[in-house]
Homo-oligomer: A and B are copies of this chain.
Amino acid sequence: MEEKKWSELWLKYTEKEKRGNDKLIQGVYLKGFDASDAVVKSALEEWTAGLKGMYGMEPAMEENPNAGVLSLIRKADGRIRKEGYELLEQDGCLQLLAGDEKGLLYGVFHLLRLISMEKDLRGISLLCNPDNPLRMLNHWDNMDGSIERGYSGNSFFFEQDRVIVDGRTRDYARLAASVGINGVVINNVNVKQAATYLITDRYFAEMKAMAEIFAEYGIKLYLSLNYAATMELGGLDSADPLDPGVIAWWEKKMKEVFERIPNLGGFLVKADSEGRPGPFTYGRTQADGANMLADIVKPYGGIIIWRCFVYNCTQDWRDYKTDRARAGYDNFIKMDGDYHDNVILQIKNGPMDFQIREPISPLLGGLKKTNQMLEVQVAQEYTGHQIDVCYLIPMFKEILDFKTYCGGDLDTVADVISGRTMGNANAGIAAVCNTGNDFCWTGSELAAANFYGFGRLAFRTSLSAEEILEEWIRMSVSNEAEVVETIEKIMLPSRETYEKYTSPLGIGWMVTPHVHYGCSVDGYEYSRWGTYHRADHLGIGVDRSDKGTGYALQYYEPNASMYNKMESCPEELLLFFHHVPYTYVLKSNKTLIQHIYDSHFEGVEEVEEMIRLWESLQGKVDTGVYENVRRRFGMQLSNAKEWRDQVNSYFYRKSGIADERGRVIY
């Protein structure tokens, strides 16, 4: 038997307690769906595989909706919406009602999840409509097989400029669909070299093959686009979005691409950002660029997702006025309303770049007449490289729950990006994905919870971080109460723990340049990246109030005033918004400097406690999983100590203020 090269994570379908569920699902009855439809087929196959693995059952197709038989029924009404489904059990009759094939697939995965978690299906009554129209994964995979900000091996999409379509492609699609993902961008937003050619004959055959597998799981394929393709592929001397030659080239190209690649959803574009070409080069607006492409892909049902990560990345550190945090808003707010219907602006959750703590981007909801997608990062670029444990779902919840005050009752980020606020259909959420060709997909076995959790949260933003974590643990690791509780104790506070031993109170960065793992307090302080902490012998922080860069005023009231004043600014973001003396007294009654010392000592202690907790699970979880995580904990502990000692020493040396508790600082 060939050894498996990758695990199936939460879809591994090992034997489970039946709790009488087996009596409800002796057969399958299908009504209103075509059993030969690709998505329906996937749903039925998954159901069969799941029941075989978990219950040792092989339910047959039935002709009638009898009791003891799972009924899969098409039902589209106002309640069950696109991609939604309802689960109902009454008197031994279990029904899955869905409005479309994708709803059916998601419903089947829901039932399998409940079975995997050893839940009782009797009496179930659940209506599940997806909250976000678009629920996407963005892979930053390069065609040479490397992954930008990848910490889980190499790409399983690309290798040496070739596209890989194999058994893993299907398992990836299963995993993604099982948590409700309906769109995937397979290539890095920085589109260079071979990746530019993904929209040419060189790769159409493989793209088609991959897109068809994705289609079987209700996932649209998207590609990152090289904005300068007119020049690099087309031999034109311009990429000016208003140039008729440029437009004509794209028209021809898009016709070809949509004809050759079925199930193509559209394109993600990083333009005018970190050295990428874009419309600014030609004196055009971002809207000019996005609309030009959007109009051309519209006949094919395509959409253009346009990233808002546009800022000056050659800033002078001596310049205290320019503020990278302002850039997204400043660059995009003016053209609110100018973007066509099938353009979506994709906005990172914070104004900087996926730090462990940032305020919410003021563009989210700041834009009132523009389709918006939230971009979060499941890949742990700044949050521990999938070495350090950092369960990100609580952070994503905070982001979604943030009240923007953009007007009306439906004004949270979740409202804005779901389309509820503006009633728009092209909206949603995307995550930079953390997968690679490692056996366990995500480097650390525990990091898979972020992949899982992102999908679940994207589908139902009302789920709590605790619920999602419990689901993941029970499906992936064990249903044993002790195991579930112990892993929860490790993971639920892990984001705060990581924050404690790294950069304090929202200031961010302080990381090793380029690598973004490990401490270097001044690593970005005298650089061109606009990411400064401005620490001197008296204090630290960036004044982004009206007396500083004015960034705080990009928010609606009352947020603007709250952030603008040191006293009302949430303390976890204090140093993001204000330059604060080390002697400033926090609500905890500690001085700022003492808070820095204390939190850094605490962070390391918490890692030590995490390790003790994990070690208590030896023998209770799979050995491979245990060792994978144990090894990483060793690395996390030394990373945490290094951060603690560097940060504390740095601020002690700079401030000259001793730790009240006399602990060792170097």
Contact = CB atoms under 8 A, between A and B. Distances in A.
Interface of A: 317-318, 320, 519-522, 526, 535-538, 642, 645-646, 649-650, 652-656, 666
A389 to B, nearest CB: 24
Nearest to A666: B318
B646 A537 contact: no
A654 B538 CA distance: 9
B537 A653 contact: yes
Given A318-B666, A519-B526, A537 B656 contact: yes
Contact of A521 (B320, B522, B538, B642): B522
Contact of A653 (B520, B536, B666): B536
Give the one of A519, A526, A649 with max B CB within 10 A: A526
Nearest to A522: B522
Nearest to A318: B666
A645 B537 contact: no
A655 B536 CA distance: 8
Contacts of A520: 522, 526
A526 B646 contact: yes
Contacts of A320: 666
**Within the oligomer, what is the number of copies of this chain?**
2
A464 to B, nearest CB: 39
A538 B656 contact: yes
A76 B636 CA distance: 71
Contacts of A521: 522, 526
Contacts of A652: 536
Contacts of A649: 318, 526
Nearest to A657: B537
Complex A-B, nearest 5 residue pairs according to Cβ-Cβ distance, in ascending order = A536-B653, A537-B656, A318-B666, A522-B522, A526-B646
Nearest to A537: B656
A457 B499 CA distance: 57
A666 B317 CA distance: 9
A653 B656 contact: no
B537 A654 contact: yes
23 contacts: A318-B645, A318-B649, A318-B666, A320-B666, A519-B526, A520-B522, A521-B522, A521-B526, A522-B522, A522-B650, A526-B646, A526-B649, A535-B653, A536-B653, A536-B654, A536-B656, A537-B537, A537-B654, A537-B655, A537-B656, A538-B656, A653-B654, A654-B654
A649 B654 CA distance: 13
Nearest to A656: B537
Main secondary structure of the interface of A (DSSP, over half): loop
Given A520-B526, A537-B655, 12 more contacts: A317-B666, A520-B522, A521-B522, A521-B526, A526-B646, A526-B649, A526-B650, A535-B653, A536-B654, A537-B537, A537-B654, A538-B656
A271 to B, nearest CB: 29
A653 B656 CA distance: 12
Contacts of A526: 519-521, 642, 645-646, 649-650
Give the one of A522, A642, A645 with max B CB within 10 A: A522
A515 to B, nearest CB: 11
Contacts of A645: 318, 526
Contacts of A653: 535-537, 654
A654 B318 CA distance: 16
A152 to B, nearest CB: 25
A642 B521 CA distance: 19
A366 to B, nearest CB: 31
Give the one of A320, A537, A650 with max B CB within 10 A: A537
A42 to B, nearest CB: 49
Nearest to A665: B318
A529 B36 CA distance: 65
Nearest to A518: B526
A469 to B, nearest CB: 35
Contacts of A317: 666
A521 B654 CA distance: 13
A317 B641 CA distance: 13
A519 B538 CA distance: 24
Contacts of A538: 656
A320 B665 CA distance: 12
A646 B317 CA distance: 9
A635 to B, nearest CB: 16
A653 to B, nearest CB: 4
A118 to B, nearest CB: 49
Nearest to A521: B522
Nearest to A534: B653
Contacts of A646: 526
A535 B320 CA distance: 25
Nearest to A536: B653
A340 B59 CA distance: 85
A655 B649 CA distance: 15
A522 B523 CA distance: 8
Contacts of A522: 520-522, 650
A127 B373 CA distance: 83
A653 B519 CA distance: 20
A270 to B, nearest CB: 27
A653 B522 CA distance: 12
Nearest to A512: B513
A320 B535 CA distance: 25
A477 B653 CA distance: 50
A76 B88 CA distance: 111
Nearest to A641: B318
A655 B317 CA distance: 19
A311 to B, nearest CB: 21
A553 to B, nearest CB: 25
A652 B646 CA distance: 20
A520 B537 CA distance: 18
A521 B317 CA distance: 15
A19 B304 CA distance: 79
